[in-house]
Amino acid sequence: MSNNANDNIIIKKSETSKIDSVDFENLSFGNVFTDHMLICDYKQGIWEKPVIQPYEPFLIDPSAKVFHYGQAIFEGMKAYKDGNDDVWLFRPDQNYERFNKSAKRLAMPEVPEAVFMEGMKKLIELDKQWVKNEVGSSLYIRPFMIATGPGVVAAPAQFYRFMIILSPAKAYYSGEVKVIVAEHYSRAANGGIGAAKAAGNYSAQFYPTKLANEMGYQQIIWTDDATHTRLEEAGTMNVFFRINDTLYTAPTSERILDGVTRKSLIAIAERENIKVDVRPILVEELIAAAENGTLQEIFGSGTAAVVNPIVGFSYKEKYYELPKQENSLALQLKAMLNNIQYKLAEDTFGWTVKI
């Protein structure tokens, strides 16, 4: 193992690469990782120098507070390669800003921009060959932070570890998606951590989603915790409803994640003169639109799938099939966003950042 260091980051390159053993045509999302990872530890109130090293397991104390009190946050991002073999990030400033908002909400230290941004760029530079030059292929980027401080006292830890790992990804497609509108379970509550990308938010969804799966549905459209009358998110994604030719989506709040893909789709729609109405949407509005034929599309938006069309939904044991769309607005918006990400269209917003 060879060591190189610059002023900010220690780099320990792997002597071998596992890239030749990877079947890039048959990737399962989030299960294959590149040769290197970034680690940066927080001790005694100070961030140490980041280290990029070979991807490998590491030891952690059994009493680490991440295990006992759930201090764990993460982000999801992607890098894309254009026709000139240049690699681009998409709106990384938004992910960095949201990461530190999550950190503050969970009483964790904020990560310095130099560690997050420069560390990520150098890590991607080192594993650049893992980013394939074709539309649909990308490099999924997972920055995360956990509490490594020992002890089972119910208080914030004194030691933390920030890491970035990378995973090559193909186009994310899960087939037809049918959803249930939640009547009992909630994703988040006012005053809680719904707006943070905290690990606990996602584990709390597993059980109600399992129940939905057993009934033949892939995901849940979450409703508000107090009355279950307002539509909020779809699974782990923000959600849009097209009624006639207007796109409706709920405003962000303490309960709803400020999705980067969500805000990007809104900006593109407004540029294309597509009417967007950001306001609370009632379940009764959705049912009425489905029954009178004005409900055209429902789709989720997020980093992994970008846009995930929903073919139908169930509410109070009644199923509503959505009409087939020859000119799906969801897929049009997805194509326009992908074209910006892969540098196939002009980035009029200044969202892309070259590695």
The position carrying tokens 């009644």 is 318
pLDDT (average), residues 248-271 = 95
For 204-228, the pLDDT digits (tens) are: 999 999 999 999 999 999 999 999 9
The angle formed by the CA atoms of residues 325, 175 and 217, to the nearest 5 degrees, is 95
Question: Looking at residue 4, what is its pLDDT?
Answer: 45
Q: Which residues sit opposite 3 in a β-bridge?
A: 12
For 64-113, the pLDDT digits (tens) are: 999 999 999 999 999 999 999 999 999 999 999 999 999 999 999 999 99
Whether 2-169 and 178-341 share one fold: the answer is: no
Give dist(CA 195, CA 98) in Å, integer.
9
Torsion on CA atoms 259, 314, 207, 310, rounded to nearest 10: -40
Res. 236: pLDDT tops 50: yes
Give dist(CA 26, CA 207) in Å, integer.
29
Question: Looking at residue 1, what is its pLDDT?
Answer: 43
Average pLDDT of the chain?
94
Least confident of 31-35, 151-155, 190-194: 190-194
Question: Looking at residue 173, what is its pLDDT?
Answer: 60
Q: How many CB atoms lie within 10 A of CB 184?
A: 8
260-271 helix and 329-341 helix, angle to the nearest 10 degrees? 110
The full set of domain ranges for the chain reads 2-169, 178-341
Q: Residues 178-341: name the CATH superfamily.
A: D-amino Acid Aminotransferase, subunit A, domain 2 (3.20.10.10)
Nearest to 64 by CA among 72, 53, 56: 72
- Amino acid in the structure at residue 196: A
Least confident of 12-16, 165-169, 172-176: 172-176
Res. 333: pLDDT tops 50: yes
Q: How many CB atoms lie within 10 A of CB 84?
A: 7
Percent of the chain at pLDDT > 90 equals 86
Q: What is the largest CA-CA distance in the chain?
A: 67
Give dist(CA 157, CA 160) in Å, integer.
7
Query: CATH: 3.30.2270.10, 3.30.470.10, 3.90.1150.10, 3.30.420.40. Which one for 2-169?
Result: 3.30.470.10
Nearest to 99 by CA among 304, 307, 257, 306: 257
Question: Looking at residue 174, what is its pLDDT?
Answer: 62
For 118-169, the pLDDT digits (tens) are: 999 999 999 999 999 888 899 999 999 999 999 999 999 999 999 999 999 9
| Local confidence band at 2 (pLDDT 50, 70, 90 cut-offs) | very low
Least confident of 3-7, 85-89, 221-225, 251-255: 3-7
pTM of the model: 0.94
